[in-house]
Amino acid sequence: MLAQQRRGETLFAQEMQKPDEDIDLAKAAMYVAMHRRPDEARVDDAVEELDQLAAELEKTLPAPEDRFPLRTLKAISRYMFDTLEFKGNAEEFYDPRNSCLDEVLARRTGIPITLSLVYMELAKRVGVPMVGVNLPAHFMIRPVVEDMEVLVDCFNDGELKFVEDVEDMLRKFYTMGEADKLTIDRSFFTDNSVKPRAFLTRLLTNLKQIYFNDDEFGAALQIVAYQSHCAPDDKVALFNRRDGGICLFLMQRYEEALEELTGFVSDAEVEGVWEGDDTSKAQIVQMIDHAKTQVARESVKRSVEGALGKSDSMLVESDDDEDAAAK
């Protein structure tokens, strides 16, 4: 079982060796899903299902000469959310199955990023490339079409959002009044576009947080291992190392935790990530001190047990010598 789970990570690591533009998001997401259901055959099954769904979608679309981007997006949304009945899982948002592509396809429900992935894969197969867009506390996608300023909200039945809608959403997020002016320009959509590695990092971060919250630290550590292969920058990689150390600490694997956390602190000092965050630094240092104490205790315990074992052995040898002399 463990070897199969690691097989998923190995396949994911191999996919991450490719340039961003060549990464197969669907396969990469399925390799992540193998941490829960380590069956490699399911990867091809998921890709095949997406192919079949896209083939059915193609039949519902206008003729190629009438396939204007906005009309096509509306057709994809109708197909995915009305015909196939995909929906956002608001009731069980933090169920880890919502972050696994095979489960999303089987259950027809998920969270914004995985529903967006399904939509992107279907759209790509019918000739409409899409890209993710990072928004505060939400994730949407947009078509890669010049001068087209529209987003698709896959958590809300594929609703199309225009610039004014996004401005209103951001105004509410930042608790601004109706009279407050907030405007975004075209660069907002491109500047906040999400490349494949960043997409997968966000997916994995969701999963890692879910497992942390559920005290499933072994599962969280698996996700940390996946994330180590796709961190889009050094800072993300650095904090991923911290998270791995915390997992090991909470699993009482103190020697390994000590190595990871001290390495994180050393690199964090160099990168200057502690500025203005003395509380987080104090918490990590406290973990390190506790881990050092536990490692020292284990060392003493092993020494004592070794000494006792040696004494017992000497006693047995002494008894044998006495028996031999008596004979």
User: How do residues 274-310 score in pLDDT, each as one tens digit?
Assistant: 665 667 888 999 999 999 999 999 989 888 877 776 6
What does the pLDDT read at residue 170? 78
- Between CA 31 and CA 306 the distance in angstroms is 44
Helix (H, G, I), strand (E, B) or coil at 51: helix
Mean pLDDT of 77-90: 97
What is the percent of the chain where pLDDT is above 70? Answer: 88
Residue 269 binned pLDDT confidence (cut-offs 50, 70, 90): confident
Phi and psi (nearest 5°) for 139? -140, 130
Residue 327 binned pLDDT confidence (cut-offs 50, 70, 90): low
Compute the 3-state secondary structure of the chain and give helix, strand, coil in percent, each to the nearest 5: 70, 10, 25
Measured over the CA atoms of residue 292, residue 293, residue 294 and residue 298, the dihedral's sign is positive
Token pair of 127, please?
């000739």
Residue 323 binned pLDDT confidence (cut-offs 50, 70, 90): low
Helix (H, G, I), strand (E, B) or coil at 251: coil
Token pair of 102, please?
């095979």
CB atoms within 10 A of CB 285: 13
Token pair of 15, please?
């996919």
| 36 backbone φψ class: left, alpha, beta (φ>0; ψ -120 to 50) | alpha
- Between CA 142 and CA 133 the distance in angstroms is 7
What does the pLDDT read at residue 145? 85
Phi and psi (nearest 5°) for 61? -85, 155
Residue 258 binned pLDDT confidence (cut-offs 50, 70, 90): very high
Question: Nearest Cα to 141, choosing from 46, 155, 85?
Answer: 155
> Long-range CB contacts (< 8 A, 24+ apart) of 216-222?
217/247, 217/250, 217/251, 218/247, 218/251, 219/35, 219/96, 220/247, 221/247, 221/248, 221/251, 222/5, 222/9, 222/35
- Between CA 65 and CA 130 the distance in angstroms is 20
What does the pLDDT read at residue 310? 62
What does the pLDDT read at residue 241? 93
pLDDT digits (tens, 9 = 90+) for 16-54: 999 999 999 999 999 999 999 988 899 999 999 999 999
pLDDT of 10 strictly over 80: yes
Helix (H, G, I), strand (E, B) or coil at 271: helix
CA distances in angstroms from 5 to 9, 31, 45, 67, 128, listed in the order given: 7, 9, 18, 43, 34
- Between CA 317 and CA 321 the distance in angstroms is 6
pLDDT digits (tens, 9 = 90+) for 209-230: 999 999 999 999 999 999 999 9
pLDDT of 180 strictly over 70: no
